[in-house]
Amino acid sequence: MSRQEITFTPDASASLDTIINQAQPDRLFLLCDKTTERLCRPLLAQCSALADANLISIPSGDLSKEITTVGMVWTALVQHGATRRSLLVNLGGGMVTDLGGFAASTFKRGIRFINIPTTLLAQVDASVGGKTGINWMGLKNEVGVFQNALHVLIDTHFLATLDDENMRSGYAEMLKHGLISNQDHWQELMRFDLDKPDLKALLPLIQRSVGVKQDIVLQDPTEKGLRKALNFGHTLGHAIESLAMENDSPILHGRAVAWGMLGELYLSHRRLGFPLPLMRQATDYIIGHYGRCPIECRQYDRIVKLMGHDKKNHDGHIFCTLLSNIGKIELDQRLDTDEIKEALDFMREGV
């Protein structure tokens, strides 16, 4: 998989016009969910290439990230005569870019697609790196393929449409990138005022965050080794997210990852000597901005079972990415049930 084509732009309409004109598709499709159709599509009103695009609008929310919705996209592509030379533009958050990328990658064994991420989470994580997918049987991203978008356009103007909760969700992935990269980037993230986010000041942090992911993906595009570093916080986080879905009270991905990082930082300290002052700094920041993880002791066994579905596991054992220090990544750390439950205690209590 080659390096992802990414453009950071102050004018998504003009940049998109250029890319579409270069691609010369025979038919053009625009995929939105109901929220991004209302809030974000108007920000592309000056894109002349989209004037003749076929709009595909799907329900909003992570509960739509499933095979029935993919079927809706496939059906619309067939009904409007899509061919292998067609192009799908995914305008939305991680749900839209993940699902749209999967639908495009499998339709006629693959058509081209462009991602225009409209949430912070999608800009720094979901839309970049070539992972596409949907949820299956309540499990996060259980079905999918690796396929790069033709291009990713990142414009912070879209972030003005976000509420506070979605900003925090995206920032959690940036915190992860800071922890797996270097001290300087981590401390930059600690200094940013997440309560009153300045989008101009945020842009260089987004660029560095995307750069962290790009460098790792380029070395390990299909997650055979180093790319597992990007799953820091996700082994526990995905289980918390899946539990919330089971209970019909879904939470945003980034919030689950923030809580997952609490538990995995605890395991990193306990097992690998991750420095206590840095663990305390991260814990205070996460609890201060994301609250305490609202799990109960009676749910521990179910969380452990959900962790058993993680794609990094093998031979019936749960494996996790941990850190011995900021930027010091330790892959394939086998966890036992007792230490997982200790980490869950820490996630609840943060002490």
pLDDT at 97: 96
Among 142, 161, 180, residue at a domain's last position: 161
Query: Of 112, 185, 238, 269, which one is the catalytic site residue?
Result: 238
124 shares its domain with 189: no
Can you give the CATH number for the domain in which 292 is found? Answer: 1.20.1090.10
> Domain count of the chain?
2
pLDDT at 350: 73
pLDDT at 351: 65
Residue 20 lies in a domain: yes
155 shares its domain with 18: yes
Distance separating alpha carbons of residues 198 and 59, to the nearest angstrom = 30
Active site residue 38: no
Q: What's the whole-model pTM score? A: 0.91
| Mean of pLDDT values over 54-63 | 95
178 shares its domain with 324: yes
202 shares its domain with 141: no
Residue 40 lies in a domain: yes
Can you give the CATH number for the domain in which 20 is found? Answer: 3.40.50.1970
Strands 87-92 and 112-117, bridge-based pairing? parallel
260 shares its domain with 337: yes
99 shares its domain with 190: no
Query: Of 37, 223, 241, 264, which one is the catalytic site residue?
Result: 223
195 shares its domain with 340: yes
pLDDT confidence tier of residue 139, bands split at 50, 70 and 90: confident
pLDDT at 1: 58
pLDDT confidence tier of residue 2, bands split at 50, 70 and 90: low
Q: Are 264 and 293 in contact (CB under 8 A)?
A: no
pLDDT confidence tier of residue 74, bands split at 50, 70 and 90: very high
205 shares its domain with 277: yes
Count of alpha carbons within 13 angstroms of residue 27, beta-carbon side: 14
**Nearest CA-CA partner of 163 in 96, 258, 260, 252:** 252
Active site residue 292: no
Q: Which residue has the higher pLDDT, 349 or 29?
A: 29
Distance separating alpha carbons of residues 177 and 144, to the nearest angstrom = 23
Residue 123 lies in a domain: yes
Active site residue 349: no
Among 121, 139, 161, residue at a domain's last position: 161
Query: Of 65, 151, 213, 228, which one is the catalytic site residue?
Result: 213
Reply yes or no on whether the pLDDT at 135 is more than 70: yes
Residue 66 DSSP one-character state = S
Name the least confident of 27-31, 147-151, 310-314: 310-314
Active site residue 173: yes
199 shares its domain with 157: no
Query: Of 65, 112, 185, 234, which one is the catalytic site residue?
Result: 234
Distance separating alpha carbons of residues 283 and 266, to the nearest angstrom = 9
Residue written as token pair 């986080």: 237
Mean pLDDT, the chain, whole residue set:
94
Reply yes or no on whether the pLDDT at 66 is more than 70: yes
Active site residue 191: no
Active site residue 317: no
Active site residue 234: yes
Query: Of 37, 173, 241, 264, which one is the catalytic site residue?
Result: 173
Distance separating alpha carbons of residues 186 and 178, to the nearest angstrom = 4
pLDDT at 55: 98
Query: Of 41, 65, 112, 131, which one is the catalytic site residue?
Result: 131
| Mean of pLDDT values over 18-39 | 97
Query: Of 140, 176, 253, 269, which one is the catalytic site residue?
Result: 253
Active site residue 109: yes
Reply yes or no on whether the pLDDT at 3 is more than 80: no
| Mean of pLDDT values over 95-120 | 97
Query: Of 148, 231, 241, 269, which one is the catalytic site residue?
Result: 231
**Nearest CA-CA partner of 130 in 150, 160, 155:** 150
30 shares its domain with 144: yes
Among 137, 161, 185, residue at a domain's last position: 161
Q: Which residues span the domain enclosing 110?
A: 6-161
| Mean of pLDDT values over 140-160 | 94
Q: Using alpha carbons only, give the angle 61, 231, 257 rounded to the nearest 5 degrees.
A: 50
**Nearest CA-CA partner of 213 in 128, 133, 141, 150:** 128
